[in-house]
Homo-oligomer: A and B are copies of this chain.
Amino acid sequence: MRRPTLEAVAARAGVSRATASRVVNGQTTVAPHIRDAVERAIDELGYVPNSAARSLVTQRTDSIALVVSESPTRVFSEDPLFSTVIRSASVELEAVNKQVVLMLASSAKSHARLERYIAGGHVDGVMLISMHGADPLPTALSRLRVPVVSYGRPAVPVDIPFVDNDNVGGAEAAVRHLLSSGRRRIATIAGPLDMIAGQDRLTGYRNVLRDSDHRSIVAVGDFTRESGSAAMRQLLRDDPALDAVFVANDLMAVGALQSLRQAGRRVPDDVAVVGFDDIDAAKYTEPPLTTMRHPVTEQTAALVRLLLGLFVGGPSDPVILPTELIVRESA
């Protein structure tokens, strides 16, 4: 009836529980014929180790919390980046036999719960996916005695190893691409300025324009489609003669394209548009979107490596990955 225990396996194989445990854990100090007997018993009984009992004594849980901290405006079901990160993190962690415990941190209530949970030693480590600004979570988690890594540089100064892409460099490349194709009045739709990605991509934009003596035309969105739409309308009002826009993410770029269409502007003939992220939908806009790709899957893999490294006392240096310009038809 009940699931078989190590005791049962040992009895069936005619050995002690300790020996059975050695076989299960792959220790080499077991004679071959005994090992065989135990393995046969395991198969016959369909034995599966009880993880609760195991972690009770080893003080490890072999599970990793994936903490997704979403802002009210940036729900992860809307933003394809979240799911890509979650998916590839799962793949990576499963490959090394770690369990993925998914935790949403939205309300303050869930924050408290989360902290208790993590402080309670239920997980061996935490991967923090917090895209939004003044998030108290990085600070709170770094105080706990649990290894924490972050996807994206935390917005607050806190000592958490992280993986990020080169937002400044990517934005610079995007704007340079617009300049080199002869555009003269290049506006930007920036992301929220309490987010690192928002800040850095704006910085990149400004760097290039400053160096080339063009003036900057800025509207600010919050990385959602809606806000991109609104920001584009704003820009057209501010400077009807603009001939290019660098949009800080693709979701907003989709909204911007819609506003441009409604305003009767042709893309790229009248206005060139470059986005950032290369989400899947970028291929399907009208026209297809030129954008900066960053390797989300590789970033996540690097993040997992970083965390696993911390367990064995490895380095905790940030990892910054480069971005790549993907030229389609919008610019």
Question: Which residues on A are within 8 Å of B, measured CB to CB?
Answer: 3, 46, 48-53, 55-56, 61, 63, 66, 75-78, 80, 82-84, 86-87, 90-91, 94, 99-104, 106, 110, 113, 116-117, 119-122, 225, 254-255, 258, 261, 280-281, 284, 286
Chain B contacts of A80 at CB under 8 A?
77-78, 80, 83
- Asked whether, in the complex, the Cβ of A94 is within 8 Å of the Cβ of B120, the reply is no
- Please tell me which one of the listed residues B94, B106, B110 contacts residue A104 in the complex, with CB atoms under 8 A apart: B94
Other 5 A-B pairs with CB < 8 A, given A77-B86, A281-B281: A3-B121, A46-B119, A51-B52, A80-B80, A90-B104
Interface contact A286-B284, CB-CB below 8 Å: no
**Partner among B77, B106, B122, B261 whose Cβ is within 8 Å of the Cβ of A83:** B77
Q: How far is the CB of A319 from chain B (nearest CB, A)?
A: 21
Taking CB atoms, residues of chain B closer than 8 Å to A51 are 52, 120, 122
A50-B121, A52-B52 given; A87·B94 CB < 8 A:
no
With known contacts A77-B80, A120-B51, A284-B258, A87–B66 Cβ distance under 8 A: no
Task: Give CA–CA (A52, B63) in the complex, Å.
Answer: 12
Given A121-B50, A255-B284, CB of A87 within 8 Å of CB of B91 = no
13 A/B residue pairs, CB under 8 Å, sorted by A: A48-B116, A48-B121, A49-B120, A50-B56, A50-B120, A50-B121, A52-B52, A53-B56, A78-B80, A94-B110, A102-B102, A225-B280, A254-B284
A78 with B280: in contact, given A48-B121, A56-B56, A121-B50 (CB under 8 Å)?
Answer: yes
Q: Complex formed: what's the CA distance from A261 to B288 in Å?
A: 13
Taken together as a complex, chains A and B put the C-alpha atoms of A106 and B113 apart, in Å, by 31
**Separation of A281 and B288 alpha carbons in the complex (Å):** 15
Interface contact B100-A87, CB-CB below 8 Å: no
Q: Which residue of B lies closest to A46 (CB)?
A: B119
